[in-house]
Amino acid sequence: MSKPTTRSSNEVPPDEKNVENLADDIGWRSWRSLAIEAQGRFYEMLLTNSQRFPGLVDYAVVERARAASGTPAWSWGAAAEIQETINSVNAWGMRLHEWASWNLVVDSYESEEDRREVLHHFVEPLAFFCMLQPSAVSDRLMLVSEALLHQANCHVFPEYSDRLDQDSLKPRQTLRRSDRRKQASRLGKNWTKFGVFRHALDAINSSEYKIVSRNFRDLSVHSFAPRLMMGQILRAIRSIAPRQEIVAQPSGGYLLVDHPTKKSVQYEMVAVEPFPLGIACSASLAEYQKALAAMSEFSELVSEICDSMDAASKHKAGIK
């Protein structure tokens, strides 16, 4: 039995009223007009800057991994993990190209209010994604290379033990980034292409990038990253520091000096300045180019691994 209602049959439902009110709202119509116009400018900029597209990673290495004769774990997951890694890198490249075009759209507006609207609705989502990718891609590429090297070692080298450093960790614990890189060096020591790949991988998300990017990724995740293009963030940062005391000087006057043992609470009043869009985008683009170089060396390593696994499979089968 349906519930009784007090609304007449010709009364407009509340949700439809809200839609009608929104459609008639001057602010909404103004924003919609700006959004449509901005999208048009974006597509024009995208075409104009097509020559600056940063390039993508080829998927040929996925098929090479899929065709290789390896362990059951390799056959099940290797190609898929490589493909997903390439997907993430290529997504970064495409979003970078879009970001650069949107930056030009922002610059094309004279009104600060219009620039702010375009920035918040269209630029910031792309910028945040791109600025976080150097760390994400670096970690993912290290993880997948570890898995591939381990399976290849299990298949190719009879004396190799199916053991990894994380086996001794508690459930749901993972290796620290530094420990994972140490393990990767051990797993890759028998592969001639590993050294060049590792060097290219280490170039991504380096300490230099963290300086240029103003540590945007870590601050976004754990604290307050600078705003993009406009706006300060005011912060009072608390710390424990040596207590400062006014000490009379032998020659006269006074000097503020740190006490040798006593500590006190201090507050540093800071204003986090905005991060210019052009500098941020260029920093991410430079890291993307490093990622492309690392993926090229990764493909060479995978090819070497696949060739060795195929040869080992033939040897085990008694095929010359």
- Domain coverage including residue 144: 26-229+276-316
Q: Is residue 102 part of a domain?
A: yes
* Structural domains counted in the chain: 2
pLDDT digits (tens, 9 = 90+) for 100-156: 999 999 999 999 999 999 999 999 999 999 999 999 999 999 999 999 999 999 999
Looking at the fold, whether 268 and 302 belong to one and the same domain comes out as no
Rg (CA), the chain: 28
Determine the pLDDT at residue 22: 60
**Comparing 10-24, 49-63, 154-168, which segment has the lowest mean pLDDT?**
10-24
- Sign, CA dihedral 3-7-11-15, equals negative
Residues 219, 100: one domain? yes
Residue environment code for 21-44, b if the CB has 16+ CB neighbours within 10 A, otherwise e? eeeeeeeeeeeeebeeebeebbee
Residue range 61-100, pLDDT digits in tens: 999 999 999 999 999 999 999 999 999 999 999 999 999 9
Verify that 83 and 112 share a domain, yes or no.
yes
CA angle 203, 60, 51 (to 5 degrees): 65
**pLDDT averaged over every residue in the chain:** 92
Examine the pLDDT at 20 and tell me if it is beyond 60: no
Same domain, 108 and 252: no
pLDDT at 1 over 50: no
Co-location of 70 and 125 in the same domain: yes
Question: Do both 142 and 30 map to the same domain?
Answer: yes
* 152 lies in the same domain as 215: yes
Is pLDDT of 271 > 80? Answer: yes
Return d(Cα 186, Cα 161) in angstroms, integer: 12
